Amino acid sequence: MIQQNYGLPLDLMNKAVVMVSNYLPAIIEKMKIQLAMHDWEQVVDTAQRSEFTHSQFFVTVVYRCNHHMDQFRQRPG
């Protein structure tokens, strides 16, 4: 159900990133959609890919930290 709500916006952001691979606003929006979908692996993957073009892009670090914090919170015990 979550993926159905975000499928079209994610598709549009994917197309924008393909058309202009270093267009930072599209990369950020794509990561926001992936976060809303709780697709942590894709958030990390997108962040890592954007680091190649935007080596000083601090937002990728924030998203990666959020991912790791979420994993820590989900640990049993």
Quick one: pLDDT at residue 1?
45
**64-73-76 Cα angle (round to 5):** 130
> For 75, phi and psi rounded to 5 degrees?
-65, 135
Range of the domain at 66: 2-73
Q: How far is CA 73 from CA 35, 36, 65, in A?
A: 16, 17, 12
CATH number reported for the structural domain that contains residue 38 in this entry: 1.25.40
Q: pLDDT (tens digit, 9 = 90+) per residue, 23-64?
A: 888 988 998 898 888 888 888 888 877 766 666 666 666 777
Q: Would the pLDDT of 13 be above 90? A: yes
Quick one: pLDDT at residue 66?
76
- Domain count of the fold of the chain: 1
CA dist 73 and 18 (Å) reads: 34
